[in-house]
């Protein structure tokens, strides 16, 4: 993460995205003040070409920013907005101000636009809804919103007239894009959970010494670290692209490994913390809840394992070494 752009994002998140702010937004407080800091800093246009007013980064160069979104439990769709704006710019569409998230339209005989589970739908200004042949850029404020699994997510529904809104010629695969985003954010959240757990183990004393000195705890910490750093490497592979569009097979590797790590790391970190780790007042749960949420977002490890297996059989004739070489080479 040794670059000016990521360092600037980190500094903003340290100052503005504290755990207190995360809790307030999760409780229903407006996210606009935090978003305005991000908007004014220009971070949301990171993938937009320089001739369109953006930073002109590639997805590979953006990876540290995506990881930071997870590391600080950012309760806003910054990652989604960055990619959505890049897709809109490529399609020659007008890029609106405000945050954008992705939605996948379900079939509705009444002509309504229905999205069953929009990630960060409650805190987004716009939703880029993918349909069979095109996308619709719809304002979130005009949607009928109902509860989804996570407090920041929403089931959203627009009237049939919404189809007359801004149509965009975007051809991105929503699931692959979301899997790429959440693999990177999982890597960031995993690192935060590891750091907090290590710090707790060194501070918490039992029987006259830190619990981190006990062999059983050291073993658990070593397993956590193995998962965390393997997941981070996989997430970096998933973002290897010279454009804003991720490679599906590399994303499969990233999401499968990070989702697998999420279960193990969440379980072990709570085991080390004991009962206090589950309390609402303790910060650990802000991150472990996201580990479980993001593990499923964009497809869990079992889904992407199937994708990898099918590609291995169909395109690499079962030769795993050829597949590994093709997908894990990093420029």
Residue 129 C-alpha from the chain's centroid: 18
pLDDT value of position 170: 83
> Do 180 and 164 lie in a common domain?
no
> Do 310 and 277 lie in a common domain?
yes
Domain range for 87: 4-168
Cα–Cα distance list, 159 to 37, 99, 115, 139, 165 (Å): 32, 21, 12, 12, 11
> Do 58 and 112 lie in a common domain?
yes
CATH number at residue 43: 1.10.540.10
- Within 10 angstroms of residue 319's Cβ, the number of other Cβ atoms is 11
Helix (H) or strand (E) holding 36: helix 32-41
CATH number at residue 244: 1.20.140.10
pLDDT value of position 82: 97
Domain boundary residue among 136, 168, 200? 168
Domain boundary residue among 141, 168, 195? 168
Tell me the C-alpha distance between 232 and 192, whole Å. 12
Domain boundary residue among 110, 143, 168? 168
> Do 193 and 160 lie in a common domain?
no
Q: Is the CB of residue 166 less than 8 Å from the CB of residue 137?
A: yes
pLDDT value of position 167: 83
Report residue 271 as tokens.
């085991």
> Do 160 and 258 lie in a common domain?
no
Q: What string of pLDDT tens digits covers the 331 residues of the chain?
A: 448 899 999 999 999 999 999 999 999 999 999 999 999 999 999 999 988 889 999 999 999 999 999 999 999 999 999 999 999 999 999 899 999 999 998 867 778 899 999 999 999 999 999 987 789 999 999 999 998 889 999 999 998 887 666 788 887 899 999 999 999 999 999 999 999 999 999 999 889 999 999 999 999 999 999 999 999 999 999 999 888 899 999 999 999 999 999 999 999 999 999 999 999 999 999 999 999 999 999 999 999 999 999 998 888 887 888 888 888 876 6
> Do 122 and 255 lie in a common domain?
no
> Do 142 and 195 lie in a common domain?
no
> Do 178 and 269 lie in a common domain?
yes
Tokens 């960060």, residue located: 120
pLDDT value of position 1: 43
> Do 130 and 279 lie in a common domain?
no
> Do 55 and 152 lie in a common domain?
yes
User: Count of domains in the chain?
Assistant: 2
> Do 68 and 140 lie in a common domain?
yes
Report residue 205 as tokens.
């004393």
Q: What is the DSSP string of 195-211?
A: HHHHHHHHH-EETTEEG
> Do 41 and 159 lie in a common domain?
yes
Q: Angle, nearest 10°, between helix axes 284-296 and 174-203?
A: 150
């Amino acid at each position: 993460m040794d670059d000016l752009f990521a360092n600037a994002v980190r500094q903003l998140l340290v100052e503005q995205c504290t755990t207190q702010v995360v809790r307030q937004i999760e409780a229903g407080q407006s996210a606009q003040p935090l978003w305005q800091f991000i908007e004014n800093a220009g971070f949301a246009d990171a993938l937009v070409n320089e001739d369109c007013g953006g930073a002109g980064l590639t997805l590979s160069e953006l990876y540290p920013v995506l990881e930071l979104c997870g590391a600080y439990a950012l309760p806003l769709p910054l990652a989604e907005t960055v990619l959505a704006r890049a897709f809109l710019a490529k399609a020659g569409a007008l890029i609106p101000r405000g945050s954008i998230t992705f939605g996948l339209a379900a079939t509705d005989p009444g002509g309504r636009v229905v999205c069953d589970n929009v990630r960060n739908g409650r805190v987004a200004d716009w939703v880029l809804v993918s349909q069979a042949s095109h996308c619709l850029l719809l304002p979130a404020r005009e949607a009928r919103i109902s509860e989804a699994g996570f407090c920041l997510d929403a089931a959203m529904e627009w009237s049939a007239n919404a189809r007359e809104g801004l149509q965009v010629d975007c051809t991105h695969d929503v699931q692959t894009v979301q899997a790429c985003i959440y693999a990177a954010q999982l890597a960031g959240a995993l690192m935060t959970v590891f750091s907090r757990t290590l710090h707790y183990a060194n501070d918490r004393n039992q029987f006259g010494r830190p619990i981190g000195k006990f062999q059983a705890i050291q073993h658990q910490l070593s397993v956590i670290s193995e998962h965390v750093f393997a997941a981070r490497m996989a997430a970096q592979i998933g973002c290897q692209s010279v454009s804003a569009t991720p490679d599906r097979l590399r994303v499969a590797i990233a999401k499968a490994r990070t989702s697998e790590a999420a279960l193990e790391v969440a379980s072990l970190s709570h085991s080390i913390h004991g009962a206090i780790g589950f309390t609402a007042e303790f910060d650990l749960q802000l991150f472990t809840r996201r580990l479980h949420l993001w593990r499923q977002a964009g497809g869990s490890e079992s889904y992407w394992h199937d994708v990898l297996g099918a590609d291995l059989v169909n395109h690499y004739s079962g030769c795993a070494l050829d597949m590994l070489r093709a997908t894990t080479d990093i420029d």
